[in-house]
Amino acid sequence: MIGDLGARDATALAELVAAGEVTPAELLDAALAAVEARNPAINAVVLMQEGVARQAIAAGLPQGPFRGVPFLLKDLGCEAVDFPSHNGSRLLANTRYHRDSAIYARIRATGVVTFGRTTSPEGGIGAATEAVVYGGPTRNPWDPGVTSGGSSGGAGAAVAAGIVAMAHGSDGGGSVRIPASSCGLFGFKPTRARLPDGPYVGEGWAGMAIDGFLTRSVRDTAVMLDACAGPDLGAPYVAPPLARSHADAISRPPPRLRVMICDTTFTGAAIHPEVRAAVLAAGRLLESLGHHVEPGRPQADVGMMMRAWTDIVGVGTALGVRRALKGRDAAGLVEGVSRGAVAHAEGLHPTRYLEAVGEIHAFGRQMAAVFGEEGGGGPDVILSACLAEPPAKVGRFSHATEDYVGYRIGPGGIFEYSPFCAVFNASGQPAASLPLGWTAAGLPVGVHLAGRFGADEMLIALCAEIERAAPWAGRRAPMAGGAAS
């Protein structure tokens, strides 16, 4: 009954535990067996801590909404005493922490049984997960020849492979939504500061980065967000309060909404025909549900935003690398893209960081103006693709190059591949990727929805309505026991 974790979402597994039909130890056994059987092909689960998980079960799990459900942390951030981390880098291999982060403490309080971490690219700056520290790339359970995405690529692969029903991730430029799109999962980026960053980080990438989760159902994300939301002590700023919880929001449909549909990039460039078809099909679905859908394109300086994003992330990368190197040579410890980021950051004028932060803030105001006030003339939601094309081949976004700027915003770079997600990290607005499309080859295609700053409950309610109208739970990767077509 429990050998196939991928057949149920985390809520359903927790219900089995609560009913006494299965024990947390049995669920952990099933997850460990799935790791043994499936992980060698995808290289997603690392730094296993079976003993920690068994001790947590023996000590008595918290009576939270996911009591007994196996869980994995991304190997980047989410600092936890019992879970050392490589942070995607040989330079930071086997880092230990003296206290738990606020986000991990809240995750643990839900009753999950955490037993390891999932792979991440070095520094979290890629749309693919191929860090040298893990001995090879992380592959997609739908097709091992393509990437599972990044930077939460290991989390996406582990959930899509049916190893766990949900996993922790984080998103500073699409790092939850890109793996969700690539792996046929649901990924939701909350409004800036909805989840805690402390105490190890004051803010991630000038407020552009935030934690999140890779799940197979909207309800799992909603309940986990409710469990983790709210500032930690001393947070520099907080998100606007929710009118109702995420879980309450998904219990009923939102009001009929004005939807701007964009079947190009936000700068007007064409996207892959199969991806465009998925966007248009999603627009027709929303129309059939009574929403008002009109074509459009947000008028904002996306080029300025991406240059500022690239500089901010470069400076953040340089800070982390220089602090950890402690005078050592980066060769053999730091991958090419990160070395390039350090060089780029050190070539910037000392005032550029604050200038770039100001540009990100200006861009956020531009995007807020696109939506306008609630009840005004602007859209409530922007509908687009999540990625401009289907999942990329493994190796296309290798970190070997030292051309950091070209890697991010040059021809054929990350931004051309993923031109939508980072827009909403910069603006701080809530956004989600939904697994609504599929290529002729059977690869997932995510459709992207974004809402006004602070309107998380409206957006997640819309996601739940779409899930009910076009359910995706039955569509699973062959590795997880599903069919690719």
Q: Which residues are catalytic?
A: 74, 151, 175
Closest alpha carbon to 423 in 314, 265, 282, 273 = 265
Which structure tokens are listed for 298?
Answer: 């947000």
Which structure tokens are listed for 172?
Answer: 């500073």
φ/ψ of 457, rounded to 5, equals -65, -35
Rounded distance between C-alpha atoms, residue 74 and residue 66, angstroms: 18
Q: Is 64 left (phi over 0), alpha (psi -120 to 50) or beta?
A: beta
Q: 348 exposed, middle or buried (CB, 10 Å; 0-12, 13-18, 19+)?
A: middle
Mapped onto helix, strand or coil, the DSSP state of residue 117 is: strand
Rounded distance between C-alpha atoms, residue 149 and residue 155, angstroms: 10
Which structure tokens are listed for 248?
Answer: 């309450």
Which residues, including other chains, have CB under 8 Å from residue 82's CB and lie 6 or more apart? 49, 52, 114
Which structure tokens are listed for 361?
Answer: 């803030």
Angle at 297 between CA 296 and CA 300, to 5 degrees: 145
- The distance from CA 101 to its chain's CA centroid, rounded to whole angstroms, is 18
Residue found under tokens 């799992």: 220
- The distance from CA 318 to its chain's CA centroid, rounded to whole angstroms, is 23
